[in-house]
Chains A and B, each alone.
Chain A
Amino acid sequence: MGAERHAFLGDLVGYGADPVAVLELIATHASNGAVVVLGNHDAAAMGRPDDALSRNALAAVDWTRAQLGPRQLAFLASLPLTVGADDIRYVHASAAAPEQWIYISGPREAAESLEAGNASYIFSGHVHEQKLYYTGASGRPMAFRPVPGTPIPTSKQHRWLAIVGSAGQPRDGNNAACYTLFDTDRERLTFFRVPYDYGSAMRKIRAAGLPERLALRLERGT
């Protein structure tokens, strides 16, 4: 797709059965200049307590921690909560308080994050469904559900908070993975959905003895 830089918005591990491989891959990207920020599941896998996690998630976190070696743990420990560069802020949850893992569940939360983000563009994860918050003439954010594959012209006349969607943890009934491409030259934002081999991912989750719910979700998309 012509991407020249990559950004990984957190929750790298904690759901799937390949945490070591995933972290090795992302660490390679990071050494080549990719932006990587910490997610709440990553933090939990490092042993930081998180009351908000569900029973299934906690089981997966415990399993994940047992898999990780010192190198992977050190990589996780090196991750910042947020990165700001070139008028773009990257953060897993809300830029208003990154360590509190606040969900951007509506325009109000988006406004707080945009206020604190201090950038024309914020890219976030945490919430699994793709969404674009944008400001109009009044400066108050509004929500838009992107049409996958349709490039959205943007400009610095407005502020934009993109929830890029999750790769492999869908909640909207569509089992395709999500990613978002930002063309910085033309200021265009395109949200994508791509099918992937979720069957293998399910088999591995079951083989690892992780909760069945985590496997089923990959297929059902909810």
Chain B
Amino acid sequence: MEPPESGSVIDGFVLGERIHAGSMATIYRLTGSEGPLPLVMKIPRLGPGERAVNVIGFEVCRTVLGAMAQSHHHPTLVAYGDVETTPYLVMEHIEGVRLDDWLARAPVAPEEVARLGSAIALALHDLHRQDVVHLDLKPTNVLFRQSGEAVLIDFGLAHHGHFPDLLAEELRIPLGNWVYMAPEQALGVRCDPRSDIYALGGILYELATGRLPFGHPSTVGELRRRLYRDPVPPRALVPATPEWLQEIVLRCLEVDARERYASAPEVALALSSPGQVQLTERGSRRRRASLPTLARRRIRAARFEPAPCPPPSKQPHVIRVVAVAIAPQEGNEALRRALRDAAREAVAADPACRIACITVVPPAAALSGVGEENSATGRHIRRLIELRGWAKPLDLPDERVTYHVLESDKPAAALVDYVAMNDVAHLLIGAPGAGTLPWRFAGVGPQVVGSVPCTVTVVRPRAEG
């Protein structure tokens, strides 16, 4: 069946320029639409000679997009036609920079890799917390809005935990883009959000090195080689790659999903705070596994059992982040203790949670200090040490606690932004009037409580005597 010409009218929608003609679908810009969003129509290639999976992909796309909450991270579905008579999807047209354009310039500077990767990770999290796994994450399916937010498109191969998976069959040829496909997906697993984290690892690798971690496999056998063959470490290709970035990339690309980051926001966090990345052997690795190791892995790979998919959850947080807003050192000691007690209770209630210790300082430009002591870096480091000192008695393992010194003139706004960006589940903050609060945090509590998108506990020290 030939795709319709520009100028055709389908269900009242006027087809404009044809902007994409692929093997699965044709996409047109729509003209004359009065709505608030620029729109496109996607028409699947159906009919004799086309693949059955095209129909199913169309249905999957309709179901998944239709079920997701409206968000900046994926196009909004506006209308759809009947699959049997006039199949089409009308969606928001995303105007943005394509990830492809960045890749054309790879290797990209580590800071840029981190910025782009972190935006993609946050977009993935938006899907994952709704029990959606994309399963076809590749450069052509990622766009960036002006704001820097990543938008994921093309949900034709996605899995939504609330709906029957029409593509969940033992297919001889694994569905999806083989370049970025996770090992478990190559074996037919379609319910693990960590498969998207693997694909993100492939994208980060490509951004950082300009090379593909596993080339272009053309047979299922070549595709499965990633079950035992590790990629060349990025630092071996681009020596300027920092260890933290290599650590993140290679952890995303772990064969066993359990060895990867457990959730997308953890990847975003690692990418946005390189100083906090726990370096292991992965970060400093200089070459691929030796031949004897490879031989051993190859034998093991034959018996590889994919990790069980994490249970689809009603709770959106894979690992709950509990943020604690801590005033600088000159603050009230009783309040600092009370905050620590509250953090201890949070850890007791959810032993898997992560504690993010946050403080806010004035921007560097506002500082007039001279010399090492008062330099911006000096102060920053001092605050970090204070935060570590505050958290020390909690006695948490390193990966369960992170430290963040935010620079802002508006502490309340900075905290609210932090909570929103990092998907914090619970914020602990000192009560106003609880003793002599330092000036920077006075009055912050009520402003934060009013506007922060998470649960807030306002902590007050017990009255003395």
Contacts and interface: CB of A to CB of B under 8 A. Distances in A.
Given A137-B52, A142-B168, A157-B55, A150 B162 contact: yes
Interface string B135-172: 00000000000000000000000000111111111000
A53 B161 CA distance: 36
A153 B52 contact: no
A144 B63 CA distance: 15
Contacts of B2: none
Main secondary structure of the interface of B (DSSP, over half): loop
A152 B64 CA distance: 11
Contacts of A137: 52-53, 56, 166-167, 169
Contacts of A153: 59, 62-63, 66, 163
Contacts of A77: none
Interface in A108-154: 132, 134, 136-138, 140, 142, 144, 147, 150, 152-153
Interface residues on A, range: 10 to 19
A73 to B, nearest CB: 40
B83 A157 contact: yes
B59 A142 contact: no
A156 B85 CA distance: 12
B373 interface: no
A157 B62 CA distance: 14
Nearest to A135: B166
B62 A136 contact: no
Given A144-B164, A152-B163, A136 B63 contact: no
A158 interface: yes
A105 interface: no
Given A156-B84, A157-B59, A134 B52 contact: no
B181 to A, nearest CB: 19
Contacts of A150: 67, 162-163
Instruction: Identify which of A132, A138, A144 gathers the most chain B CB atoms within 10 Å of its CB.
Output: A144
A155 B59 contact: yes
Interface residues on B, range: 20 to 34
A150 B162 CA distance: 7
A137 B173 CA distance: 13
A156 B84 CA distance: 8
A164 B67 CA distance: 22
Contacts of A132: 164
Contacts of A134: 164, 166
Contacts of B161: 147
A142 B164 contact: yes
Contacts of A152: 162-164
A128 to B, nearest CB: 20
Nearest to A145: B164
Given A137-B56, A155-B59, A155-B83, A142 B163 contact: no
Contacts of B66: 153
A184 to B, nearest CB: 14
Contacts of B83: 155, 157
Interface in B60-75: 62-63, 66-67
10 contacts: A136-B166, A136-B167, A137-B52, A137-B167, A140-B169, A142-B168, A152-B164, A153-B62, A157-B56, A157-B59
Interface of A: 132, 134, 136-138, 140, 142, 144, 147, 150, 152-153, 155-158
Given A138-B169, A142-B165, A153-B63, 4 more contacts: A136-B169, A137-B52, A150-B162, A152-B162
CB-based closest 10 A-B pairs: A144-B164, A137-B52, A147-B162, A134-B164, A150-B162, A136-B169, A153-B63, A136-B166, A155-B83, A138-B169
